[in-house]
Structure 1
Amino acid sequence: MTAVFAAPAGPTASRRDTSPSAVPRAREFRHTTDRDEAIDVITEVYVPHNLVLPTCAVDMTLAWTPLRHLVLGYLSYGAESYLIAPKLETFYHVNLTIRGRTGSQRGAEEVETGNDVGLVFLPSEPATVHWSEDCMQLAMKIDKDGLEAELARLLNRQVTVPLRFDLALELKKPKVSSFVRALQHLRSELDEPDGIVASPLGVAQLEDTVITSLLLGQPSNYYDELHSSAGSALPRTIAPVVDLMESEPDNPRSLGAYASVAGLSVRALQDTFRRTLEVTPMEYLRGVQFDRVRADLLASDPETTTVTQVMHRWGFTHAGRFSTNYRKRFKELPSETLRCH
């Protein structure tokens, strides 16, 4: 199988062309022969890590483009190297080898890949990647919240169990090939700055297609449900309740009122939610409210907005309990979301 993305033309290994023109178009570009600087760059763009260099030499080139939920970059070290990363926490990561070989470990799993197998790393597990001297990878960082929001949309329910992809991304499989084509299309559009990527809506659509095709193509603990007819639609009795909760989370009703909307008894409504969405009706509503809080915090200026204002806007009144539950859900405090995003 040919490489998913053609490697830049020109010399390789120790006589590589490391100028910006030698790699695909990107918004940002860095080249360094200093190990500490290489670590700093990859930490800033992707993940904190340690870099082990058996020959004590490095010739790193990174060309990358940050998007809404993705960071897409071409990375090479120009030397045999070991990248050792802790848990990613708030990101998933997909690596596609363009040239050379890669040996990878994720938790207890190990796999060696060329350009016919990619890799998917999880937020919950540390990873080690061994690069051959001539290796170049397309490295894609995916925001965990964005990925899980799309998963929830496809499932028509909240995601209550962490998403776990298989490590090996088999690029020859038909469903995974759809992901590859979506990624190729995104990559080609990024090379045309006056095209669809000039519009934020266009970029969002391209990103969503890449994320959706990854969810539908790569085996995971949600794969069977995503491909079953049973998981593709909500029962007609609770669909209007879910729609009401999603459209008016700032105007919550009582459990009895939601049961009336569904035309069910309170107990039947609870049973249907648990069976279909694996949460109670009020847990589902609280999840929607938490998601709206986070969206507002991400979009707000910390100089003019407080967590308390946003919290109250979406129906939360107990600050301590809210902060504790927010941290459980998003792995950070609401104040950190407001300051850092």
Structure 2
Amino acid sequence: MADPLIEAFGAEGTIAPVRFEVSGTRPETAVRDLGGIYAGERWSAAPSNGRFDYRYTAIGDSEVTIRRSQMHGEIRGYMPGGAPDHVVTWISTGTGEVEVRGERWPMLHDVPVLFPADEEFTFTTADYDQRLVHLDRGFVGRVAATRSEIGERPLRFDARRGADENLGHRWQGALTALSRALRVGGPDSDVWQDAKVAAAEVFLDMFPPQSDDLPDVLAQPRNARLRAAVEYIHAHAAEDVSIVDLSEAAGLSVRSVQESFRRVFDVSPLTYLRQVRLDRVHEELLEAGPQAGAVGEVARRWGFAHLGRFSASYAERFGEYPKQTLRR
């Protein structure tokens, strides 16, 4: 892949003021600075061949930023799920590896990958030059809502699918346009806004989203606040979700949230959450095939700690046990 970001990161005095940079020569400050940017946990860093230094720069606005991370040395860490941004990244030098659900993916040079936004993962990188584009979830959702085939449904992205290789030239063009827009007009300009939307469009084509079909009843105006709670469940099903979270998402009292779910779905909010999680497990097992140990791993990832109760609930919902789904 060509390097459309070099001009943006290298130009002095031509970039709009929405920008930050961190750099240093000590592993402990790299953990503090870089781990702080990503709210990471259990990060560690070490010199490589006796040398250690790093530099991280970000330019853009709260909806889209283009970033560059460089390091002589090694860094690794854990990322919890629930990131506020979708992050597309690639390395041009060095090595990198991401591990999700026990599966490791090497980061190939100049091949964009999508970090999991909703799942926990670990990473290891060394002696690298890395490019990243952060796209705010809400912004991507608004762009996606303009597409008739997606609409305003909650979006999920399967990072394991990888980018569509045929769209590499369009992604490169989108990055070039973003960099040029910052140099020419800055983040308050129309050209920057147009470039952001174009980049989000290419992102949606490279990593086609999986959408959850929400019940039609939520389209009724009287259920607008309930819809917000339901969308929150679908967007955060892999995380710990409480009634208070749903109350804040919907702008309703806890009691009103409970009553709304009972009125429309005849179940409690947490029962609805469990049903969504069961559906996600079912989808994964259908894709996984007969793999030893897969059921327990998938169930725990979607919040089911007691495998016996999970298996019974699964059978009640789908008419078969999880292992039967795997054998299909």
Q: TM-score range by the shorter chain?
A: 0.5 to 0.7
> What do residues 59-110 of structure 1 show as CA deviations (whole Å, max 9, x unaligned)?
1201112413123211112212223322244332211213223222233332
Residue of structure 1 equivalent to 2:43 = 51
Tell me, in whole angstroms, the C-alpha distance in 2 between the residues paired with 1:322 and 1:163. Answer: 31
- Aligned alpha-carbon RMSD (Å): 3.9
Residue of structure 2 equivalent to 1:28 = 20
Q: Indicate if the aligned counterparts of 1:6 and 1:98 stay in contact, CA closer than 8 A.
A: no
| Aligned-residue offset at 1:131 | 1.6
**Residue 213 of structure 2 is aligned to residue 280 of structure 1:** no
Tell me, in whole angstroms, the C-alpha distance in 2 between the residues paired with 1:289 and 1:116. Answer: 43
- Match of 1:73, as an amino acid? R
| Aligned-residue offset at 1:198 | 4.1
**Residue 197 of structure 2 is aligned to residue 208 of structure 1:** yes
Tell me, in whole angstroms, the C-alpha distance in 1 between the residues paired with 2:175 and 2:86. Answer: 16
In the comparison of the two structures, how many residue pairs are matched?
Answer: 237
- Match of 1:319, as an amino acid? S
Residue of structure 1 equivalent to 2:67 = 73
For 2:143, which of 120, 138, 150 is the aligned residue? Answer: 150
Q: Indicate if the aligned counterparts of 2:82 and 2:118 stay in contact, CA closer than 8 A.
A: yes
- Which runs of structure 2 are paired with 1:129-278 in the superposition (5 Å)? 129-133=123-127, 135-154=128-147, 155=149, 157-160=151-154, 162-166=156-160, 168-169=162-163, 173-192=165-184, 195=185, 197-199=187-189, 201-221=190-210, 278=214
Residue of structure 2 equivalent to 1:40 = 32
Find the residue that maps to 1:50 and give its secondary structure: strand
| Aligned-residue offset at 1:196 | 5.6
Tell me, in whole angstroms, the C-alpha distance in 1 between the residues paired with 2:136 and 2:223. Answer: 18
| Aligned-residue offset at 1:277 | 5.6
Find the residue that maps to 1:153 and give its secondary structure: coil
Change (3 A) 1:97 1:139: same
- Match of 1:136, as an amino acid? D
Find the residue that maps to 2:141 and give its secondary structure: helix
Q: Indicate if the aligned counterparts of 1:164 and 1:220 stay in contact, CA closer than 8 A.
A: yes
Identical columns (%): 12
TM-score relative to the length of structure 1: 0.57
Residue of structure 1 equivalent to 2:290 = none
Change (3 A) 1:203 1:21: closer
> What do residues 191-223 of structure 1 show as CA deviations (whole Å, max 9, x unaligned)?
33xx26442x4333221111111101224435x
| Aligned-residue offset at 1:141 | 2.4
Q: Indicate if the aligned counterparts of 1:88 and 1:124 stay in contact, CA closer than 8 A.
A: yes
> What do residues 267-324 of structure 1 show as CA deviations (whole Å, max 9, x unaligned)?
xxxxxxxxx964224446467557999xxxxxxxxxxxxxxxxx9xxx96x5224678
Residue of structure 1 equivalent to 2:253 = 319
